[in-house]
Amino acid sequence: MLEHADVADYVAGQVFVRAGEMHGMLFVVQKGVIQVVVTHQGQEVIIAECREGEILGEMSMLDRKGASTTLAAKTDVKVARIDQASIERLIQSDPEFGVRLYQSLATILAGRLRRLNMQALPFESYG
């Protein structure tokens, strides 16, 4: 998949996706740290930091809605970006790739939801 991606560099502090934007990209962090930010009651809240090898943009790629969060470079970062059309072409040419991709995205999303649940609920809820 990465051979079909382009690579972008962002400097520390640079916002490269804003919540609500339609970016149509899947991002793979190749170097550096990206902050995942939401705005709550007028304040920016960092809800996660993503590092090398992590994937971002999967929610809006799957539901074709705007980004649910803002992405900003905490450090200088290098990001592989692959657009929706390229992913769709890859899936058409290799359906097994599509199965593996969607299984991977489901696993990523389940892990993120599990972490958020653990943060939101008292520890006693998990036993």
Q: What is the pLDDT of residues 20-76, one digit of tens each?
A: 999 889 999 999 999 999 988 899 989 889 999 999 999 888 888 899 999 999 999
Q: Average the pLDDT over 90-119 and give the result.
A: 90
The CATH number that applies at residue 7 is 2.60.120.10
Domain with 54, as residue range(s), is 2-125
The pTM is what? 0.83
DSSP E strands in the chain: the ranges are 6-10, 15-17, 25-31, 34-40, 43-50, 55-56, 70-73, 77-83
User: Which positions ≥6 away from 75 have C-beta within 8 Å?
Assistant: 12, 32, 33
User: How many structural domains does the chain have?
Assistant: 1
Q: How many CB atoms lie within 10 A of CB 62?
A: 13
